[in-house]
Amino acid sequence: MTKIVNSWNDFDPLKHVIVGRADHSCVPPEEPATSEKVPIDSPMRGMWGPRPLETVEKANAQLDNLARVLEERGVKVDRPSPLQWNQPVITPDFRTGSMMTCMPPRDTLLTIGNEIIEAAMSFRCRYWEYLAFRPLLSQYFNEDPEFLWSQAPRPRLSDKSYKHNYYDERISLEERLVRTANKDFVTTEEEILFDAADVLRLGKDLFIQHGLTTNRKAMEWFKRKYPDFRIHAVNFPGDPYPIHIDATFVPLRPGLIINNPHRKLPEAQRKIFEKNDWQIVDAAMPAHKEPPPLCYSSVWLSMNCLVLDHKTVIVEASETNQLEQMDKLGMNVIPIHFRDAYAFGGGLHCSTADVYREGTCLDYFP
Ligand code: ABU
């Protein structure tokens, strides 16, 4: 009997992983869930369509290099099958001009133990993204009799799922921060919505970020799906664009987690960690002042690292502050160049999805 799928956290020894591909990636047209991420003075405003070929080739070269580094360390690497992302998405409830990419698998696939869940994502342009991973999931299903292949309830993404004109471009940064603190986000509670990258897995505890891509109904869904788990809704008030927890709160090993100093963990959740002797360390400042061109993510991809085991971590090579901090925290650091891939959906953690890590479901917060 072959056990292919098993992962309960982001730090136990990694043995099998999916690494994204940038082929055919597009900048999607504006839609209710995404328009607020594009600043008014950005060249991306109003622009959509296939990304320039030379940027796709550069991103793929860095993704291939990540795959090679992992394989050299004995990690099995699978790759998705990209679609022609420039096709429109048309359903009974909406129409949008193109899809996006399958580069950040972490947003689409959530591995919990022997189960992989296809997430209920809120971007219309990402509606079919899971199809790029179907050949792999089908193979795991055929080969691993214990693999649970799941899909969260498919959202309809009709107009009822969004607050329209949520981000009027005249709204200041301060007002956005007030909204984040008040848990006022672009999605409504019409249906279950979540990106897998909003879920931080720590054994029996799931810390789920409530933000622009994940709503409260998703928390309720997780509670009912996993009655034996503790589900924690987390909100980081210092983040004006809260999308995904993995550039905000990143565990390195049992007992040690780095926290974005601009997006501090609220006191209630902080207590859970401190009571159980976890050290919460402010992450090092990013080395860059701006993200690369045509990138939706923040400079905090600096902390979006891929942990290979309790002592080893892959960090973006130009993030010198983060490299140094990892070293001081007792990690062996593997630097690799990855900034050319950022614009396609994120950093080293975003660009991967766990298939197998050693270890079992532990209770870190008894
Ligand atoms: N996908 C992670 C992006 C987080 C950030 O922009 O800070």
Q: Is 27 within 8 Å of 134 (Cβ atoms)?
A: no
CA distances from 4 to 11, 16, 144, 355 (A): 18, 8, 6, 7
Question: Which position among 24, 144, 350, 354 bears the catalytic label?
Answer: 350
Q: Domains of the chain (ranges plus CATH)? A: 14-357 (3.75.10.10)
From 298, 299, 322, 352, the mutation candidate for ligand 1 (largest count of ligand atoms within 8 A of CB) is 298
Residue 39, pLDDT > 80, answer no
The separation between CA 161 and the C-alpha centre of its own chain, rounded to angstroms, equals: 21
Residue 295 annotated in active site? no
- For the segment 171-180, what is each residue's pLDDT rounded down to a tens digit? 888 888 999 8
Q: Which helix (H) or strand (E) holds 205?
A: strand 205-209
Q: Considering the chain, what percentage of its residues have pLDDT values greater than 90?
A: 86
Residue 58: strand, helix, or coil: helix
pLDDT in tens, 100-142: 999 999 999 999 999 999 999 999 999 999 999 999 999 999 9
3-state helix, strand, coil in the chain (%, to 5): 25, 20, 50
Residue keyed to tokens 């799931």 = 206
Q: Is the dihedral of CA 141, 147, 153, 157 positive or negative?
A: negative
**For 266, which DSSP code?**
P
How many residues in total does the chain contain? 366
Q: What pLDDT does 34 receive?
A: 78
Q: Is the pLDDT of residue 232 over 60?
A: yes
Q: Is 50's pLDDT higher than 90?
A: yes
User: Does the active-site annotation cover 244?
Assistant: yes
Cα–Cα distance for residue pair 332/163, rounded to 1 Å? 45
Tokens coding 337: 């160049």
Å from CA of 142 to ligand 1 middle: 34
Find out whether 348 and 314 touch, Cβ atoms under 8 Å. yes
297 CA to centre of ligand 1 in angstroms: 5
Burial of 50 (0-12, 13-18, 19+ CB in 10 A): middle
Nearest to 80 by CA among 3, 138, 7: 138
Q: Is-catalytic flag, 125? A: no
Q: What's the confidence (pLDDT) of residue 47?
A: 79
Catalytic residue among 244, 246, 349, 354: 244
Q: Is 197 in the pocket of ligand 1 (CB under 6 A)?
A: yes
The best mutation among 195, 249, 297 to test binding of ligand 1, ranked by most ligand atoms within 8 Å of the C-beta, falls on 297
